[in-house]
Amino acid sequence: MTRRLLATAAVLGLLSASPAAAGHHQWDFTEAYSNASGTVQFVEMIGGGNGEQNLGAWTITTGTNTLNFVTNLSSTATAGRSVLCATSNFASLPGGITPDYIVPANFFPTSGGTLTYAGGADTWIYTAVPLDGVNSRLRNGSDATNSPRNFANQTGSVDLGVTTPGFPRWGLVVLVAALLFAASGLLRRPRPTLA
């Protein structure tokens, strides 16, 4: 009789397990990055505990766009680890790293919006992300130099900021000298006489 009660309790315990315990719900958004055109973007999430590798059936939505994870992570050691969702060109950029999942260009609105993971396991309402090609928006609302990290613990930082072409100092000296020389020639011209 005791064995039957224990077996029944064990079966009931398994049947009543919450779907939230399925190893996917402890992921939180931490960082969002975009260049000005939206052709390079990433979203990073961090794991809150171990055993959270079962992302495969879940999504990230950003209004009209959805990322279907499709595959699970390769390890149950997920506490403090990051998942990087980035555009396909991200790994080939100087300072870029291999994303864990690929998102299309302009995946999230840069003017602000809502990122939702797993139907509400985490929701981040964010304001406009920096578009300078260097900084990203952090979950706490501040901006900082982008610092993507993937599940393999690779880190990077891309710099797609617009730079102005350099002008060598000697070029500036030559330009100023030429202008002064031209101006001095104009000043030495003889004045026309009035008749």
pLDDT score of 63: 83
pLDDT score of 138: 98
pLDDT score of 145: 98
- Please tell me the distance from the alpha carbon of residue 58 to that of residue 155, in angstroms, as a whole number: 25
Q: Which tens digit of pLDDT belongs to each residue from 175-190?
A: 666 666 666 665 566 6
pLDDT score of 161: 86
pLDDT score of 50: 95
Q: Considering only CA atoms, which of 72, 112, 73, 107 is closest in space to residue 90? A: 107
- Dihedral (CA of 110, 78, 70, 93) sign: positive
Range ranked top by mean pLDDT from 12-26, 60-74, 137-151? 137-151
CATH code of the region 22-145: 2.60.40
According to DSSP, residue 19 is labeled G
Would the pLDDT of 21 be above 50? Answer: no
pLDDT score of 140: 96
Would the pLDDT of 22 be above 70? Answer: no
Choice between 100 and 13, residue whose per-residue pLDDT is larger: 100
pLDDT score of 14: 39
Contact yes or no for 33/42 (Cβ under 8 A): yes
Would the pLDDT of 62 be above 90? Answer: yes
**Which band of pLDDT confidence, cut at 50, 70 and 90, is reported for residue 64?**
confident
Task: Name the β-bridge partners of 181.
Answer: none
- Please tell me the distance from the alpha carbon of residue 27 to that of residue 56, in angstroms, as a whole number: 13
Q: Give this prediction's pTM.
A: 0.73
- Which two structure tokens, joined as six digits, stand for 77? 């050691």
pLDDT > 70: what percent of the chain?
71
pLDDT > 90: what percent of the chain?
66
**Mean pLDDT, residues 114-136:** 96
Choice between 154 and 7, residue whose per-residue pLDDT is larger: 154
- Which two structure tokens, joined as six digits, stand for 127? 């304001």
